[in-house]
A and B are shown apart, each in its own frame.
Chain A
């Protein structure tokens, strides 16, 4: 077995997870100016719901996944429509805290529904793993890498190159001006939360068969997404490269330096990037994340 190849494969898979979760956070942030700390709950809801529907209710896997994704989507959109929108005039910090509260509510519901033990469900893409240059990648892993980066790139293109994508961004930059120009700001934000929830759910569908999920996985996934999003300066394109870089970096540090070095090195880089990004604020100019 070739450690270098395996580290690259592992890095691509980890990077796809960072990107998948990061792009959803960026999308909501760039549309509603809120850091949604309940973003990872879509991942956890999808995983736990699918595992229960397959394992306990005995439903077929595809149907279970569809129902689980619908549940995650419903959560994400309800969070905006029922909880955040009626409080739109509240300070952003308070709204962010509300999203954190929502994450803990989901935790409580999941622990009641599935208990504290981790759960999982079968891979959507089964079959023999692919062996390349001394490394091994499961077919589910290939799907994770291709769809993770592919869908994230599609979202970035949608935001940057399409009329409706630009309307989403305009809804955050200047909601009043956007409304005067005919943009339905509320619909744009609801759409953003919906797409964010869908991305979190898809991340769950692709990743959870390779690991396991439990009631507390959501916040851990939000943190992953946040690291990728923060390192990219909340840029839809940047988060793809940020996620890829983080994944490869994490894998190589783990393989060649040891996992004990992962956090110190990664958070040092995060601080350096944050300082770099804020240089114009500190030394004049108007650029901000």
Chain B
């Protein structure tokens, strides 16, 4: 009897931790929390953390709580690879690729057999036969939206300042393709990431015949471009990249704001522009919740992070065994995912949004709203 009791006690003691361990879904995240791209990584990480806390507070998904493992890749490809390998080895059910172009390109080959890699960056378009899913419009889509806006305003020429890094290269390739296809003229100047002055680049591209100037730069470099734009006293509207919609950026340039400052964004940044009531409600709810949690208005990067967690949540809720990566892939390719802007993937397309989901916004007061026409 005593022997049986001891065996039972030992079995029960061993069983509890194993059971608890099985009740957790491990979500891997690769994000630059320090280094040049930290502003992007921390914004996306904020959303991941918020999501995991909310889900766990409600008891988890289908009885399992979430565990977020964030690995800081500093936007260095070799570190990103090590991070992703570690997540895969530890049995991550899904990986948030919350880093930038070079890191994401380095990770992609590691997930050929899964797990699902969710990519909020517009710059990395995953092949349709891969386990990567891009939850943002691609950079090509963002550029198409700029071209559509130009055509609607009868503009034929745009000046563009692009950085000399991998992200800048993607922007230049997109601009050359879209502008070439649509017979629009592009005046291009590249700027080094360390630049402390952008007046020369702007002088190259912002002639009197150019009615719109676009800077694809993000972060501190974008501030340099805006300040140089102001120094030169250029009269054209200046359009900044989707990475510069944050409250911190707006606050930083408020005293040197050009006459008109525009940007590219997913429409969810201005929820009242969303026609779908479900999308509008989800976008508004997220904007409020994020602002309440972090005391700042979310920007497009935060919104893309929200799209990623929505896709992850849908897969975890609806696929019977989320560790069956092929089943998750099939589910995502066949089911529209409700989000701040609904994600639609297919077996031939792993990009969840397209150019129709992008809007051109303009800074009015301290907030972004739909851009007015260019006269």
Contact = CB atoms under 8 A, between A and B. Distances in A.
Interface in A32-50: none
Interface in B250-277: 251-252, 255
Interface in B170-209: 189-192, 194-197, 199-201, 203-204, 206-207
A interface majority secondary structure = helix
A116 B231 contact: no
B100 to A, nearest CB: 13
B342 interface: no
Contact of B34 (A14, A111, A129): A111
B220 A259 contact: no
A150 interface: no
Contacts of A122: 255
Contacts of B252: 117-120, 212
B233 A13 contact: no
Contact of B192 (A137, A211, A263): A263
Contacts of A260: 164, 190
A220 B227 contact: no
Nearest to A1: B203
Interface in A97-118: 107, 111, 115-118
B200 A254 contact: yes
Interface in A1-19: 1-3, 6-7, 9-10, 13-14, 17
A14 B228 CA distance: 13
Q: How large is the interface on B (under 10, 10 to 19, 20 to 34, 35 or more residues)?
A: 35 or more
Interface stretch (B2-10, B35-43, B62-70, B306-314): B35-43
Q: How large is the interface on A (under 10, 10 to 19, 20 to 34, 35 or more residues)?
A: 35 or more
Given A3-B203, A120-B223, A212-B224, A258 B190 contact: yes
Contacts of B192: 250, 254, 259, 262-263
B219 interface: yes
A141 B196 contact: no
Contacts of A7: 200, 203
Contact of A136 (B190, B227, B233, B248): B233
B31 to A, nearest CB: 11
Given A210-B196, A254-B201, A117 B39 contact: yes
B201 A259 contact: yes
A202 interface: no
B194 A1 contact: no
A138 interface: yes
B121 interface: no
B35 to A, nearest CB: 7
9 closest A-B pairs by beta carbon, nearest first, are A116-B38, A212-B223, A118-B220, A117-B248, A259-B190, A6-B203, A10-B200, A212-B220, A211-B224
